[in-house]
Amino acid sequence: MALVYIEQVEEMALEQMQTTHENEIEILNAIDKLAIFYDRGEAKEEELVAKIDEYIEHVHKHFANEERLMQKYDFPKYDMHKTAHDMFLEELDNAIKYWKRYEDITKITNFIRRTPEWIVLHVNTVDLPTSNFLAQKMKSTDS
């Protein structure tokens, strides 16, 4: 069983946003699987840490790219969307700090396991209209 399924999120009009979401879901599920194996002593901490680092980097690039596109195409609800990203990143940073301070990997894996609910809600209610807007703007700009 996966932590989150791509079918839980709406399909994006903008292909690059769709691909980013699919990749992020794949990484989240890999982290969950590795964490289970790690808890059983069947995976090394280094493997899990590498996948968590991949997720952290992915989230930062994901949000930065969306924000860049929203600014480029003058998305009217940019501030609201960026605030949602900033709040998530602040929670992620706090989880990372807690993990590093106490050297307890479960602090970050527990946070990551709680993120699918936020991701599904954010993608379906915030990213979907953003994607529709950006796809339309890009289409009219290319014409």
Domain ranges of the chain: 10-142
Dihedral Cα 14, 17, 22, 27, nearest 10 deg: 170
Q: DSSP of 34-76, one letter per residue? A: HHHHHHTT-S-HHHHHHHHHHHHHHHHHHHHHHHHHHHHTT-T
pTM metric for this prediction: 0.93
pLDDT of residue 143 exceeding 70, the answer is: no
Write out the two tokens for 23. Answer: 């990749």
CA angle 95, 54, 64 (to 5 degrees): 80
- Fold that domain 10-142 belongs to in CATH: Four Helix Bundle (Hemerythrin (Met), subunit A) (1.20.120)
| CA atoms of 123 and 121, how far apart (whole Å) | 6
| CA atoms of 117 and 3, how far apart (whole Å) | 10
pLDDT of residue 142 exceeding 90, the answer is: no
What is the model's pLDDT at position 127?
98
Q: DSSP of 70-123, one letter per residue? A: HHHTT-TTHHHHHHHHHHHHHHHHHHHHHHHHHT-THHHHHHHHHHHHHHHHHI
The mean pLDDT of the chain is: 95
Residue range 65-87: mean pLDDT, rounded: 98
Phi, psi of 100 (to 5 degrees): -70, -40
Confidence of residue 1 (pLDDT cuts 50, 70, 90): confident
- Cα-to-chain-centroid distance, residue 95: 15
Q: What is the pLDDT of residues 26-58, one digit of tens each?
A: 999 999 999 999 999 999 999 999 999 999 999
